[in-house]
Structure 1
Amino acid sequence: MMLAMITGRVVRAVVVVVMALLLCGASEAWTGEIRGRVVCDLCGDSSVGPEDHVLQGAEVAVLCITKSGEVFNYQAFTNSKGIYKVAETMPESDRWVSCLARPLSSFHEHCTRRGDAHSGIKFSYNLPSGHSHTVKPFLYKPAAAPMYCS
C-alpha cells in the first residue's frame, strides 16, 4: 500500500514536470504575420477610391531579417479580396526585426503598370507573437485611365 502511494506521487510529479517543460518550450516560440493589399488604381490618383478594385493573383515579395541576422525571402499571391499574407513561427531569439515588402507583378490584363513611385516599403517589426503588421496597399494602374477619371 505504501509503495502504491509513493508510486502514485512520483507519477504525478513526473506529469507535472513534463507539463511544465512543454509549456515553457511553447512560450519560447514566436509567430509573426505580414499582410497587405494590391489594388488597381483606375484613375491613377495614387489613392484607393470607390472606382478602384482589388487585384487577385498579384505577386508580392517580403524580405525579413531576424535578430540573428538570417534573411528570409517570402513570396505571396493575393487572394480574391486582393490580400496577401506571409507568416512564420520561429524561436523568439530569431524573430524578425526588419522587413521589406515590394510588389513583383500584376497579372490583370488591364492593370499592370506600377502606380506608386516607391519600389517597396521597409518597416521595423517589433510586434509581440501572434500579431500582424499591415502594409499600405500597393497600387497598379491601367495603361489608359477611363474617361470618367478626367
Structure 2
Amino acid sequence: MQSMARHLQVVALVLLVLLDAAAAGTTTASSSTVVAGMVFCDQCKDGARGLFDYPLYGARVAIQCGGGDSPLTVRECNTNWFGGFSVRMEGTPEMNRCTARVVQATGHCGAATPTAPRELTLAFRMLGLALYTVPPLLSQPLRAMDFCPAPPVALAPSSSSSPLAPPPVSPPLPPLWRRRPRRLPPIWTPTLPKPEPPVETTTTPPPPPPQGSACTFDKWAEIGLHGCNWKVVTPNTTVAMAFGPAAAQRYGSEMTLREALEGRGDMYRTLLREATAALLNAYYNAPAAGFLYPTTASVIDHMNGALLGSPERVLLEGARFRRANSGGGRITKIPCDLTPCT
C-alpha cells in the first residue's frame, strides 16, 4: 500500500509539473529541472504523516544546496491550497546533494521550529526534463493537539545489569551407614486465634461521566463570540484553515468563522453555519462527553463529504449538524453550558 501511494504521489507531481509548464508557456522540449513535493501540518508531533495531519497552505519552502551549517538557498516558493509546491529551474544541474525544508509555515503549525530538511530524489529524466521529488515535509505546532493519542510509555531498564549467579550446589549426602538416625519432633498443638469481627468496607461509587455541552450557532454568536469558550480556533480563523481545501473552494479564502455563524438563505451557507457550530462544540467537549460528533476530525469529514456530494447530501448533513448542536447526543439530550465571557 505504501508503494502504491508513493507511485500515485509521483504521478500527481508529474501532472503538477506539466500543468505549471503549460501555464508558463513552455514545453518539455527545453532543458529544465523541477523540484516538487508537499507540506503537511504534523498536529500530533510524531514526526510522521498520520491520520490527523492535513496539507498546509501558504507554507514557504526553500531549496538549499551545499550542505554544512549555512547551505546556499537556490530557490523559494509557497505551497498551494493542496499543500503542494513546484520549483522550476533552467538547465539540468545535479540536485542529488540538495535538500528542501520549510522555512516559514502558517496557522498554529507555524509557531514551532520546522523539522529537519529532506533530501531530493531524482524521479525521472527524459525529453530534457529532470524531476526531483522530496518526501513529505512536516511543520509542527508548539504542542500536540488534545485529540492526539498518547505516546507509548517506555519501560525502565532493570537496575541489575550483572548476569544471574548460578544456584549454590549442595554437598553430596554421606553413605547410608554413616547417617545419624533422625529424631522425631515433639508433638505441637497449635493455638487457634480468636476470630476478629468483620470490618465493614465502604465502596466508593465510580465518578459520574463528564457532562457535555451542545450549543446552537446563535448561542455561540451571542455568548461565545468573545473567545473565552473557543479552543484551538478563534473567531478570526478562516473557514479554509478550519475545514480544508474543499471549503476554501466553495467559500473563498477570506471568510472567517465569525462570518460563518451568520450564514442564512442558502443551503451551502446553512451547512457552513451548522458545521461551524458543531466544530466548536467538538473542540469544547471531551471525547466521552456524549456529543454526537466525538472528534473534530469527524465533523470535518462529514463537512467535506457534503461539499463533494449531491445537494441532497448537503441538506442531510446540515440537518444532522443542527440536531447535534440542539443537544441530540448519543445517549441523552445534552444542555448548552457556555461560560459567559466578561
Structures share a fold, TM > 0.5? yes
Could you give the per-residue CA deviations for residues 21-53 of structure 1, whole angstroms, max 9, x where no partner exists?
xxxxx9984221111111101111111112111
Select between 137-146 and 73-82 the one with higher mean Cα deviation: 137-146
Q: Which amino acid aligns with 1:89?
A: E
CA contact (8 A) 1:96 1:125 kept: no
Which of 117, 121, 136 aligns to 2:118? It is: 121
Higher RCO (C-alpha under 8 Å, 6+ residues apart): 1
In 2, Cα distance between the equivalents of 1:35 and 1:84? 6
Which residue is 2:101 aligned to? 102
The two structures, once aligned, show a CA RMSD in angstroms of 2.8
Q: Which amino acid in 2 is paired with 1:135?
A: V
Following TM superposition, the consecutive aligned residue runs of length 4 or more in structure 1 with deviations greater than 3 angstroms are 26-29, 122-127
Distance 1:64 1:33, change over 3 A: farther
Distance 1:62 1:121, change over 3 A: same
| Structure 1 counterpart of 2:105, one-letter code | S
Q: In 2 relative to 1, CA 144–126 (structure 1 residues): closer, same or farther, beyond 3 Å?
A: closer
- % same residue: 27
Distance 1:97 1:143, change over 3 A: same
Question: How far did residue 122 of structure 1 move?
Answer: 3.5
Report the CA distance shift for 1:106/1:126 in structure 2 as closer, same or farther (over 3 A): closer
Amino acid of the structure 2 residue aligned with 1:97: E
Counterpart of 1:144 in structure 2: which amino acid? R
Please state which structure has a larger fraction of its residues in strand: 1
1:57–1:77 Cα contact (<8 Å) kept: yes
Q: Does 1:61 align with 2:62?
A: yes
Alpha-carbon contact 1:33-1:131 (below 8 Å) kept: yes
Counterpart of 1:63, as a letter, is Q
Give the whole-Å Cα distance in 1 for the aligned partners of 2:88 and 2:44.
33
Give SS of 1:60's match: strand
Aligned equivalents of 2:140, 2:73: Cα separation in 1: 29
* Residue aligned with 1:39, SS: strand
Distance of aligned partners of 1:47 and 1:115 in 2 relative to their CA distance in 1, 3 Å threshold: farther
CA 1:74 to 1:146, structure 2 compared with 1: closer, same or farther past 3 Å? same
Q: Deviations over 1:111-134 (max 9, x none)?
A: 112453x2x234465842324221
Contact 1:59 1:75 in 2 (8 A): yes
More helix by share: 2
Partner of 1:85: 86
1:50-108 deviations in Å (ceiling 9; x for gaps):
2111110000111358xxxxx87111100000011101233xxxx21122222111022
1:27/1:40 CA distance change after superposition, 3 Å: closer
Q: 1:48 to 1:79 in 2, by over 3 A?
A: same
Hey, what does 2:140 align to over in structure 1?
141
Indicate how the Cα distance of structure 1 residues 85 and 144 shifts in structure 2: closer, same or farther if over 3 A, else same.
Answer: same
| Structure possessing the higher radius of gyration over alpha carbons | 2
1:56 maps to amino acid = Y
Change (3 A) 1:27 1:41: closer
Extract unaligned runs of 5+ from structure 2: 1-26, 67-71, 151-342
* 2:100 maps to 1:111: no
Q: Give the secondary structure class of the aligned counterpart of 1:111.
A: helix
Q: Indicate conservation of the 8 Å contact 1:44/1:115, yes or no.
A: no
Gaps of 5+ in 1: 1-25, 66-70
